[in-house]
Amino acid sequence: MAQKPMTKSQLIATLAEATGSDKKSAGASLEALCALITSEVSGGGAVSLPGVGKIYCRARPARMVRNPATGEQMHKDADKVVKMTIAKALKDSVNS
């Protein structure tokens, strides 16, 4: 059975314990990291997190899609999507 994902408060508590700081500063660090990633990726850049992966924005072309409820084909304009490439070290640690 799969575990539930770690919540934000659990992540902050674990981060505070690992760094030897209080939860308030760990939470501020996490918020700053999320804001930095958001601003960089939304501006068209990429962020590499060593040992975790690379977060980047990719452009998708315009295409035809199908409405699953009606089966009707419709045109979808070009858009952007956030992608993440997982680092080999993380893949290897999960599969070993």
Sequence ranges of the domains in the chain: 7-43, 46-96
Rounded to an integer, what distance in angstroms lies between the CA atom of residue 75 and that of residue 91? 36
- 45-64 pLDDT per residue, tens: 999 999 999 999 999 999 99
One-letter amino acid at 30 equals L
* CA distance to 27, 54, 87, 92, per residue, from 83 (Å): 25, 8, 13, 20
- What CATH number was assigned to the domain covering residues 46-96? 4.10.520.10
Residue 58 backbone zone (phi > 0: left; psi -120 to 50: alpha; other: beta): beta
Say what the pLDDT of residue 10 is.
94
Task: Note the pLDDT of residue 3.
Answer: 86
What are the tens digits of pLDDT across the range 29-47? 999 999 999 999 999 999 9
